[in-house]
Structure 1
Amino acid sequence: MNMSATTRTEQRAVASLASLYALRMLGLFMVLPVMMIHGQSLSGATPQLLGLAMGVYGLTQALLQIPAGALSDRIGRKPVIIGGLVIFALGSIIAASADSVYGVIFGRALQGCGAIASAIMALVTDLTREEHRMKAMASIGASIGLSFSVALILGPWLAGMGGLSLIFGLTAALAIGGLLVTLWVIPNPPAQPHRDATAVMAEVGKQLRNLRLWPLNLGIFLLHALMVAIFVAIPGQLTLSGLTPDHHSWLYLPVLGVAFVLMVPLIIIAEKKRQMKNVVLIAALIIAAALIGMSQAHQLWHWIGLLLLYFWGFNLMEASLPSWLSKIAPAGAKGSAMGIYSSMQFMGAFVGGSLGGWVLQNYGVNVLFVGLGVLVVLWAIVIGQSSAPQHLTSVRLTTDGNCSELQLASLMSLPGVSEVLHLADECAVYLKVSADVFDRNQASAIIHSTGDNHGSQR
């Protein structure tokens, strides 16, 4: 297989798009560890409304995620990204200038309307070659994880200097910086149809009915509901334990670092030893134990240990669930399956914030933590009934638009191939393969052969 090095254009494109995605998510996440404390000064603030302010971006993001991606196929990636960043900056400015909780809720909802994630991922596909695309997508994923960790550390520090207004103002500045990067740094290639990168509306409906995907969709929904819901309660509990709000960053910094280090060996086991299901179950039980333990935590050292457990499990699931989904998504349907998955992720953030604030206000922190822990256990039972994923990956091969039944049968007979989908209008063949044994050059030779001898390649 030709494994040529990435070009400077590809490197620049991936670096700029990863930073663009990360800076946007940084702006969304920085308020999580500080909203419930610094938002109390807002007019009309209640725990329920502050929780809604934390998570409402997820509602608008979830509703617009797939349509924005489809729009980028029609009018181009950059117009959608530029428009989304302008809307995101406007929402940030509104939230920064708000003196009531309702103004912040409106600003956060508007931030979510700048739904550019799917357009960014599609642009990565347009700007990278097939053999480097997985590495490019991994770089984007790593940047998102890093932005979350940095946000939890920066949020309390910035809020201590200038409150929520400083955080939202900085978020607007980051969005404007992203706008300049989009206009002048990121290349502007023609859009390429690619069903592993973008959702296809007709395929979305089909994958909504794919029952194999729903345990994972529910898993990411629950994981991001937890992410927002626990920050409805944790900042106040840390303060009651004797840690002043401006020092919360000093707790998150080592906890997140150690949790990341603990995650790596299990991720390697999940992928290399093909133990994805067992690792996900372990992660779910770690999270459930941490949440139930939080209902009984009173001292600071309790919170240090429990947050370490929680983020260990959270990082494991955050890394494992999309990998599992990509393995089981049908050939040519990965983009649509991931679109649904991402929408459920953002919808979880909305439900976690709004419902978490309501539970905290009406029933208290103990009920909140125990309830969340029970939900994780119930989901673990569901995922425990699911089949472990085969370790398959998606491959797309271009054609001249024609591919005979004999050629398709020959592709299907290749070692490691489990699915073949030919899309003549896209001039492409999508495969689900075991990367350990699949030979891309052999498959390409079959597709581009003009002879009649396309027998089995075993």
Structure 2
Amino acid sequence: MSRRFANRFHLYAIPLMSSRLLATERRAITGLAGLYATRMLGLFMVLPVLALYAEDLAGATPLLVGLALGAYGLTQAVLQIPFGLLSDRIGRKVVIAGGLVLFIVGSLVAAQATTIGEIIVGRCLQGSGAVAGAIMALLADQTREQVRTAAMATIGLSIGVAFAIAMVVGPLIASSFGLSGVFWFTAVLAILSLVVLWRLVPAAPRRAQHRDVGLDRSQLRSTLTRSDLLRLDFSIFSLHLILMAAFVALPFRLVDVGIEAEHQGWVYLAVMGMAFVFMVPLVIVAEKYRRMKVTFLGTVAAMTLVLLLLGELGHQRWVLIGLLLAFFVAFNLLEATLPSMISKLAPAGAKGTAMGIYSTSQFLGAFLGGVLGGALAQRFGYDAVFLGTALLAAVWLMVIWGMPAPRHLSSEVVALEEQEGDALDTLMARFASVAGVEDVLVVPEERVAYLKVDRQRLDADALARVAGSRHTHRGA
């Protein structure tokens, strides 16, 4: 972009009251969070039941069951970035609707399956509706910069809630209607999501690139060469590999200790509820008291030990339930803190690119976890699944052991408007001169400035003066 064009942008201050949600923003956040949650609910409900109920399918083996569990991750990983880029060209709602249709088709194929191969095809089709990036981009289109962080947090919370509900609802539906009933239910949820998309979510006022949400191809190489970010990519890869592999064996282990399939949902309900209660203080320690690295290393070490004990000692009911609780405390804690660490470490304006790579790593981990768990179960038995994943967790611990403690930086996005004014370099320098502002990227074509700030050191008054001294009008 030419310097002349860059010179035409000024910062304008946003009044505090404008951080309140507008009616259209509230509708968009509610609708898209619900849409995202129901889609993930459909994917997750299969986890606690597929291994048990697939035994009635023709051709089922532990390896193929594991492949069916993780198959959605492969198509998600391959297609999520192309779908996000396609939404930039032809429109968010069109791409999201198309992805939901693919998800519905996959659910219907799996619901009518009589062989494990048909289940695998259905799961691949479910995953091919890879619209997570398009949903986040539409949410960014629908929200102003000053409320976007809260909007994204709502999406993140909805995913966690969906996972917890899926662990309970999946076994309950399967016990009454079989495995096909779970897939019929996911198809109905996806159809309802289509209705929500077109009736509740308002039309986007614009379609733009958002570097805090979407992938920026110009930043891809530099992001992939950051060792600190790669450690976190490997972490989410390992976490979801372990999760998917564990669910090849966990349902059978619960049956072995006398908890039949129709009652397992209640076990997951109790365990997930308690895990959430135990997780919250640990998140507070990590975030508020800035003990992120210690918490991270301790949690991975704890997960390594729990997996080892599941393989060696998890054959008694209460020991198994206690280990299951410890596993989900560790899993939920890592699932909550890893995205926060990505946000802290990503350079200003590169958060969307970093999260795109991170999400791809997550889905690849889910795919390989199903395959690895199935292969270990088929070749060596279910104890080997836990011991094999314990070995992976130990490798994971070694990979992250030497990482520097992440700086506790927060992302800020400040709106710009087109006006005559200072040069781009001057604008960046004025932001950088404020105490507590650690990184700045001004992107005139998006009309925003991306900042990384240390809130404990931030001179909010100085930042407000920079904003106030430059605005030509005030508005939302």
Q: Normalized against structure 2, the TM-score is what?
A: 0.92
Q: Distance in 1 between matches of 2:51 and 2:174?
A: 12
Q: Distance in 1 between matches of 2:388 and 2:170?
A: 27
Q: Distance in 1 between matches of 2:445 and 2:214?
A: 16
Q: Distance in 1 between matches of 2:35 and 2:126?
A: 15
Q: Distance in 2 between matches of 1:332 and 1:317?
A: 24
Q: Normalized against structure 1, the TM-score is what?
A: 0.95
Q: Distance in 1 between matches of 2:444 and 2:469?
A: 16
Q: Which one of 126, 132, 154 corresponds to residue 111 of structure 1? A: 126
Q: Contact 1:70–1:200 at 8 Å: present in 2 too? A: no
Q: Distance in 1 between matches of 2:60 and 2:179?
A: 13
Q: Which one of 335, 340, 349 corresponds to residue 352 of structure 2? A: 335
1:98-137 residue pairs with structure 2 within 5 A?
98-137=113-152
Q: Distance in 1 between matches of 2:200 and 2:105?
A: 22
The 1:305/1:7 distance shift into structure 2, 3 A limit, reads same
Q: Paired residue for 1:302?
A: 319
Partner amino acid, structure 2, of 1:80 = V
Q: Contact 2:146–2:413 at 8 Å: present in 1 too? A: no
SS, match of residue 394 in structure 1: strand
Q: Paired residue for 1:141?
A: 156
The 1:374/1:302 distance shift into structure 2, 3 A limit, reads same
The 1:427/1:11 distance shift into structure 2, 3 A limit, reads closer
Q: Does 1:252 align with 2:268?
A: yes
Deviation sequence 1:102-157 (CA, Å, 0-9, x none): 11100100111101111111111111222221111111111101111111111111
Q: Distance in 2 between matches of 1:113 and 1:15?
A: 24
The 1:310/1:173 distance shift into structure 2, 3 A limit, reads same
Q: Does 1:393 align with 2:410?
A: yes
Structure 1 runs (4+) greater than 4 angstroms displaced: 446-450
Q: Does 1:314 align with 2:316?
A: no
Which range is displaced more, 66-75 or 45-54? Answer: 66-75
Q: Does 1:90 align with 2:90?
A: no
Q: Contact 1:410–1:446 at 8 Å: present in 2 too? A: no
Which range is displaced more, 192-201 or 204-213? Answer: 204-213
Q: Paired residue for 2:341?
A: 324
Q: Which one of 416, 436, 439 corresponds to residue 419 of structure 1? A: 439
- Give structure 1 stretches of 5+ with no counterpart: 451-458
Q: Paired residue for 1:180?
A: 195
Deviation sequence 1:347-382 (CA, Å, 0-9, x none): 110000011101110012222211211221221222
Q: Contact 1:411–1:446 at 8 Å: present in 2 too? A: no
The 1:429/1:143 distance shift into structure 2, 3 A limit, reads same
Question: How far 1:98 sits from its partner (Å)?
Answer: 1.0
The 1:397/1:356 distance shift into structure 2, 3 A limit, reads same
Deviation sequence 1:53-103 (CA, Å, 0-9, x none): 000000000111111111111112111110100010011001111111111
Q: Paired residue for 1:161?
A: 176
SS, match of residue 445 in structure 2: helix
Q: Does 1:409 align with 2:455?
A: no
Q: Which one of 248, 263, 276 corresponds to residue 279 of structure 2? A: 263
Q: Distance in 2 between matches of 1:442 and 1:341?
A: 36
Which range is displaced more, 295-304 or 435-444? Answer: 435-444
Which range is displaced more, 133-142 or 326-335? Answer: 133-142
Q: Does 1:369 align with 2:386?
A: yes
Partner amino acid, structure 2, of 1:107 = G
Partner amino acid, structure 1, of 2:144 = R
Question: How far 1:410 sits from its partner (Å)?
Answer: 1.6
Question: How far 1:271 sits from its partner (Å)?
Answer: 0.9
The 1:438/1:146 distance shift into structure 2, 3 A limit, reads farther
Q: Distance in 2 between matches of 1:43 and 1:133?
A: 48
Q: Paired residue for 2:9?
A: none
Partner amino acid, structure 2, of 1:407 = L
The 1:426/1:129 distance shift into structure 2, 3 A limit, reads closer
Q: Distance in 2 between matches of 1:97 and 1:352?
A: 25
Question: How far 1:420 sits from its partner (Å)?
Answer: 1.4
1:232-247 residue pairs with structure 2 within 5 A?
232-247=248-263
Identity score, percent: 47
Question: How far 1:340 sits from its partner (Å)?
Answer: 0.5
Query: RMSD between aligned alpha carbons?
Result: 1.6
Q: Paired residue for 1:195?
A: 211
Q: Does 1:434 align with 2:454?
A: yes
Question: How far 1:209 sits from its partner (Å)?
Answer: 2.0
SS, match of residue 32 in structure 1: coil
SS, match of residue 410 in structure 1: helix
Higher relative contact order (CA 8 A, sep 6+): 2
Question: How far 1:447 sits from its partner (Å)?
Answer: 5.2
Deviation sequence 1:144-183 (CA, Å, 0-9, x none): 0111111111111111111111010111111110001101
Deviation sequence 1:163-208 (CA, Å, 0-9, x none): 1110101111111100011011101112232100111222223312
Partner amino acid, structure 2, of 1:370 = L
Q: Contact 2:216–2:353 at 8 Å: present in 1 too? A: yes
Q: Distance in 2 between matches of 1:404 and 1:138?
A: 31
Q: Contact 1:262–1:312 at 8 Å: present in 2 too? A: yes
Q: Paired residue for 2:467?
A: 444
Which range is displaced more, 333-342 or 285-294? Answer: 285-294
How many residues are aligned here? 450
Partner amino acid, structure 2, of 1:376 = A
Q: Distance in 1 between matches of 2:409 and 2:160?
A: 24
